[in-house]
Amino acid sequence: MHRRVLLAALAVGLMCALLILPSACNGADAEALVKEAREAAANQDYDRAIQLASDAIQANPKFAVAFRLRGSIFATQRKHKEALADFTRLVELEPQNADHYDRRGSALFCLGMVQESIADFDRAIELDRRLEKQHWKRGIAYYYAGEFEKGQKQFEAYQTVDDNDVENAVWRYLCMCGTAGRQRAAAEILKIKNDTRVPMMQVYDLYRGAARPDDVLAAVKRDDPGEDELHQRLFYAHLYLGLYYDASGEKRKALEEMEKADKLVIGHYMWDVAHVHAERLRKDAQGDAKDKPNE
C-alpha cells in the first residue's frame, strides 16, 4: 500500500516537473541566446544577431530584452518598420517603461510619422520627467509638425543642458523662422561659444548672418581631414546648408544640398532627419512639377 502511494506520488511529481521544466528551460535558453546575440551585434554580425534574438523570442515570447535588442539592431540597420514592430511589442509588454516609448518614437519619426512620434516622445517624458529638457528629438519633430512655438521652447530648454551646441541653436532658429521670421531668428539666435566640431561654427555664423554658404564648405577641408572625418564634415555641411536654403525659400538649392546629405550616410539619427527632409522636398518638387502647365 505504502509502495503504491509512493509510486503514485513520484508519478505525479514527475508529471509536474515535466510541465514546469520546458518553461524554465525556455527562459534559460532565451537569456543565453540574447547573450550570444549581443556578442554578435558587438562584432557587427547583425544577421546572426537578429537570428539569435529571434530564436530567443521564440523560446520566450514575453522576453522584453530580446525584443529591445532585436529592435535596436533593426534600427541600426535602418529597418525602421521592423524596429517599430519590436518596439510596439515592448510597449505592450512593459507599458510603464519610458525608454520603450522613446525608441518607438524615434522609429516612427524615421518612417515620416511625425505626429505619432511626438505622442510617443510626450508619453516617454510623462513617465520620466528627467527626459524633458534634453529631448532634442521631440524639438525636431515639433519643427516638422509645424508646431514651431513648442519646438522653440524645447530647444531653449535644451540650451540649459548643453549651451555649446550649434545644432540646438540652428533648430531653435528654424522654429523661430516659422513664428517670428528669419531676421528676428538671426538676431536672437542662441549664444554659442565654441562648438569644436568642424564646420559647426561656420554653420553658426551663416545662420546669424556673419558668413556665406561658401565659408561652410571651405571649412570642411581645412586641416586635411582623414576620409571618415571628411565624410562626417560633408554630411553636416550639406544638411545645414539644405536647411538654411529651405528656410530662405530657395527650394531648389535646399533639395540639392539635402540630397547630398542623404547620400552621405552616417551612423546617427541626424542622417534620418536628413532623409526625412529630403523625402519631403522631393515630394514637394514632384507636386510643383505636376502643377506646372505643359509647355
pLDDT tens readout for residues 126-167: 999 999 999 999 999 999 999 999 999 999 999 999 999 999
Tens of pLDDT, residues 57-105: 999 999 999 999 999 999 999 999 999 999 999 999 999 999 999 999 9
When pLDDT is cut at 50, 70 and 90, the band that residue 287 belongs to is confident
Contacts 24+ apart (CB under 8 A), 118-124: 118/142, 118/145, 118/147, 123/98, 124/98, 124/99
Average pLDDT, the chain: 91
Q: In this model, does residue 190 exceed pLDDT 50? A: yes
Question: What pLDDT was estimated at residue 29?
Answer: 93
Question: What pLDDT was estimated at residue 289?
Answer: 64
C-alpha cell recorded at residue 188: 536672437
Say if residues 102 and 72 touch (Cβ distance below 8 Å): no
Question: What pLDDT was estimated at residue 12?
Answer: 38
Say if residues 54 and 69 touch (Cβ distance below 8 Å): no
Question: What pLDDT was estimated at residue 14?
Answer: 33
Of 77, 72, 79, nearest to 87 by C-alpha is: 72
Tens of pLDDT, residues 21-31: 344 445 669 99
Which residues lie below 8 Å from residue 104, measured CB to CB, with a gap of 6+? 84, 87, 88, 90, 91, 120
Tens of pLDDT, residues 5-43: 333 443 434 333 333 334 444 566 999 999 999 999 999
Q: In this model, does residue 239 exceed pLDDT 50? A: yes
Within 10 A of 45 (CB to CB), how many other CB atoms are there? 14
Which residues lie below 8 Å from residue 272, measured CB to CB, with a gap of 6+? 78, 109, 110
Q: How far apart are CA 79 and CA 8, in angstroms?
A: 55
Q: Is 35 helix (H, G, I), strand (E, B) or coil?
A: helix
Tens of pLDDT, residues 209-219: 999 999 999 99
C-alpha cell recorded at residue 39: 556578442
C-alpha cell recorded at residue 203: 554653420
Q: How far apart are CA 56 and CA 66, in angstroms?
A: 6
Tens of pLDDT, residues 99-126: 999 999 999 999 999 999 999 999 999 9
Q: How far apart are CA 16 and CA 97, in angstroms?
A: 35
Q: How far apart are CA 135 and CA 128, in angstroms?
A: 11
Residue type, 71: G
**What architecture is the 28-132 domain classified under in CATH?**
Alpha Horseshoe (1.25)
* Mean pLDDT value across residues 191-198: 96
